[in-house]
Amino acid sequence: MIARVTQVVESASPSYSPNSFGCETLRDVFRTVDIKTCPTRYNFHLHTIYSDGKLTPEDVVQQALEIGLKGLAITDHNAVGGYFAAAEWLARHSGEFYRPEGDRLKLWTGIEINAHLLEGEVHILGYAFDPDSAAMAPYIKGKKATGDDFLASQVVASIQAAGGLAVLAHPVRYRQPPELLIPAAEMLGFDGIEVYYAYDRPDVWRPSPDQLERVLTLCEGRDLLHTCGTDTHGLSILRRTGC
């Protein structure tokens, strides 16, 4: 765990509340995402001990504050407990630290959900949804949904019914190629695509050049937001694995 946090949330904010920044704020952020956004400004793909990550939610938030991150989402697999733990930590400690007004660390709800799309399994990232919405009930039980709830169309509809945004994760990691998946995602009403992703898992995170060009080309002219994230499972939010 980080011993000393040097940058953090606005001091006069003991009322830090879950998802207080909202879907439209996040939509505006996604419109600004580019190759330089992750991992030192925003990070929208992070796992904790609440699924298959090694960091506690508190570790994630403290690292984010130390780095000077502007915003993040914890996206545990089929679980939201990590988000609540992180939000609780921020609520307890927000009065101890200071950032200029308007520069609070933003924490959105997040999740990564397994789903069926084009005869294969994909992962769908959900953001800025109401975790207490009945629409999300099948997807926060710590395991894959079944039946119609496992269909990508239903996952997307449920995230959006809960007020959130649905994003296709790492589109070049599946059995079906992104040339098929991205048009299908657009047809199903996905809000965005995880465009900036390190498929080759470098020690110093950066989007994989070939895959990035391929995905950017496929997203061109489509009404899809672009997102980024390290897909952290290890001990540093700056990369996927390692310390």
Burial of 219 (0-12, 13-18, 19+ CB in 10 A): buried
Residue 117 to residues 19, 20, 41, 96, 156, Cα–Cα distance (Å) = 28, 32, 31, 46, 11
Name the 3-class secondary structure at 212: helix
Name the residue type at position 44: F
Structure tokens at 192: 């965005």
Intra-chain end-to-end CA distance of the chain, in Å: 11
Inter-residue contact 232 to 55 (CB < 8 Å): yes
Inter-residue contact 192 to 218 (CB < 8 Å): no
CB atoms within 10 A of CB 150: 17
Residue 225 pairs in a beta bridge with: 192
Inter-residue contact 59 to 72 (CB < 8 Å): no
Count, in order, helices (H) and strands (E) of the chain. Answer: 6, 8
Inter-residue contact 163 to 136 (CB < 8 Å): no
Q: What percent of the chain has pLDDT over 70?
A: 87
The secondary structure element, H or E, covering residue 195 is strand 192-196
| 22-45 residue pLDDT tens | 899 999 999 999 999 999 999 999
At residue 13 the predicted structure's pLDDT band, cuts being 50, 70 and 90, is very low
Residue 180 to residues 119, 120, 170, Cα–Cα distance (Å) = 11, 12, 14
Strand pairing class (120-127; 110-117) = antiparallel
| 74-114 residue pLDDT tens | 999 999 999 999 999 988 886 565 565 567 889 999 999 99
How far, in whole angstroms, is CA 223 from its chain's centroid? Answer: 19
| 136-172 residue pLDDT tens | 999 999 999 999 999 999 999 999 999 999 999 999 9
CATH, range 22-228: 3.20.20.140
Q: What percent of the chain has pLDDT over 90?
A: 83
pTM of the model: 0.90
Inter-residue contact 194 to 229 (CB < 8 Å): yes
